[in-house]
């Protein structure tokens, strides 16, 4: 994605490293260790031919970067986009390292990308590209349950992850087929996926923002009350992450006043019904001209709308030096990777905006991918061992209440109580509970570091990540 000329000279990886360097000044680690954490361990660039459906040949360029091996396997999504390049993949891999560390997920960071616009290829061509990419990764030992585990990202789907799994297993690429399911996450549920993974990143964004607005002293500083009930929200991007973030924020009580997509944006002070907008777009091919909303010609203009919470959930470098001063939101929740450049970050902090950083807020996807990976390696569905036990225990408590009170519940009341109280947790319940606990605990940690070092949340999040990665290297005996 092209950035504005004011930030053009600073690459995405340089943006990340500027934020890294700021955090490193707060830590007392050897310079060599800091350099090791900062630098990308390995990058694989590949070029391979694709025979198109019409018989012509395209040459496809693709990448996989493994940023850090302080924990293994490495973990990170694969994106299909026409602007994929080595710098972007390296930057995203580094963000994955820091993201995993912040939420205590035991992976190193990785990222992959194939330089294609998905809409330019048929689904059969996409499958052939995906299979060849998987084959190339295996040849260089860049994929495996204990080596490097991909996942969906921008432009990819669960069905693509199923193709990766099928390629990895069916072509005898693995000597350990029993654990092969764990070679990739974000798979369809029927093919080793876990319920809750598809919406995990957006749900994690919701949990993080919900926690942020629960602190009265932080909200008072912003001139806001606590909770989501009276908050107005603008979301940029209606892909998987943006849609689910908007959905859960709206369900949590916030009012969705603006939505932006590549074709433009819409705004309504009275609020937008998210699902109605999605249905309108499906019918017309655009979110524009939604009944009761005002059209905004350029998507980026939606970033400058009056609102309490702005959620950029598209691609990187959306808020830059040239438009940061026009941002009116009091809270920016970074649902995308790198939506705010380093220069814009400084401007927003100077304005007193609370930026909830991507390396924390965007971590819901990798957290639930971790749960899926564990499920695949253990070969047991989450909750299978204890769900019925929990239900029976709750039923025995209800029976004891009946005995002690001398009152017997009628069947209607009992059925209602059992539904609300006694049913054991499903796999999806457990996944969502684990995600919520992870995001809440990580936010508290970042917030405490913000206060301890008298800095912003992004710097605090980097401090947390760097300290944890440094500790891992020290435990390995590589550094003192």
Task: Exactly one of 38, 75, 111, 321 is catalytic; name it.
Answer: 111
Residue 399's region, left for phi above 0, alpha for psi from -120 to 50, else beta, is: alpha
| CA separation for the pair 270, 272 (Å, rounded) | 7
The question of whether 111 is a catalytic residue gets the answer yes
* Non-local CB neighbours of 59 within 8 Å, separated by 6+ positions: 47, 48, 49, 50
| CA separation for the pair 108, 100 (Å, rounded) | 7
CA 368 to chain CA mean position, Å = 10
* Non-local CB neighbours of 124 within 8 Å, separated by 6+ positions: 53
Distances (CA, A) of 462 to 43, 94, 444: 23, 11, 14
| CA separation for the pair 130, 136 (Å, rounded) | 10
Distances (CA, A) of 377 to 293, 368, 370: 48, 14, 11
Q: Which residues are catalytic?
A: 111
């Amino acid at each position: 994605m092209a950035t504005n000329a004011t930030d053009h000279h600073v690459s995405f990886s340089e943006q990340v490293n500027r934020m890294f360097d700021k955090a490193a000044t707060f830590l007392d680690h050897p310079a060599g260790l800091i350099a090791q954490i900062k630098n990308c361990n390995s990058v694989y660039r590949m070029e391979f031919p694709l025979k198109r459906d019409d018989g012509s040949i395209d040459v496809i360029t693709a990448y996989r970067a493994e940023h850090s091996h302080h924990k293994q396997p490495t973990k990170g999504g694969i994106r299909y986009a026409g602007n994929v390049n080595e710098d972007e993949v390296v930057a995203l891999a580094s963000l994955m390292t820091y993201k995993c560390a912040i939420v205590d997920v035991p992976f190193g960071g990785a990222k992959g990308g194939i330089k294609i616009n998905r809409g330019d290829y048929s689904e059969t061509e996409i499958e052939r590209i995906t299979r060849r990419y998987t084959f190339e990764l295996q040849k260089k030992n860049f994929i495996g349950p204990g080596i490097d585990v991909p996942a969906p990202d921008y432009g990819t789907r669960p069905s693509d992850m199923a193709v990766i799994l099928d390629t990895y297993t069916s072509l005898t690429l693995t000597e350990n087929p029993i654990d092969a399911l764990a070679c990739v996450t974000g798979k369809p549920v029927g093919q080793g996926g876990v319920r809750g993974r598809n919406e995990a990143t957006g749900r994690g964004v919701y949990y993080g923002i919900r926690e942020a607005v629960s602190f009265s002293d932080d909200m008072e500083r912003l001139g806001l009350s606590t909770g989501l009930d009276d908050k107005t929200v603008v979301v940029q991007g209606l892909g998987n992450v943006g849609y689910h973030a908007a959905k859960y924020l709206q369900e949590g009580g916030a009012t969705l006043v603006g939505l932006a997509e590549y074709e433009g944006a819409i705004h309504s002070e009275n609020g937008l019904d998210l699902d109605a907008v999605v249905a309108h777009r499906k019918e017309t091919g655009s979110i524009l001209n939604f009944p009761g909303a005002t059209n905004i010609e350029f998507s980026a203009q939606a970033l400058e709308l009056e609102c309490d919470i702005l959620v950029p959930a598209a691609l990187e470098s959306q808020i830059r030096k040239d438009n940061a001063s026009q941002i009116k939101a009091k809270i920016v929740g970074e649902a995308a990777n790198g939506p705010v450049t380093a220069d814009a970050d400084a401007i927003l902090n100077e304005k007193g905006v609370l930026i909830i950083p991507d390396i924390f807020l965007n971590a819901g996807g990798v957290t639930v991918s971790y749960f899926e990976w564990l499920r695949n390696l253990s070969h047991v569905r989450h909750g299978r061992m204890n769900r019925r036990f929990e239900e029976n225990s709750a039923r025995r408590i209800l029976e004891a209440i009946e005995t002690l009170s001398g009152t017997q519940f009628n069947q209607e009341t009992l059925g209602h109580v059992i539904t609300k109280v006694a049913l054991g947790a499903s796999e999806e319940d457990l996944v969502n509970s684990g995600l919520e606990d992870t995001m809440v605990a990580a936010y508290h940690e970042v917030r405490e570091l913000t206060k301890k070092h008298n800095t912003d949340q992004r710097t605090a999040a980097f401090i947390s990540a760097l300290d944890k990665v440094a500790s891992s290297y020290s435990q390995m005996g590589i550094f003192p």
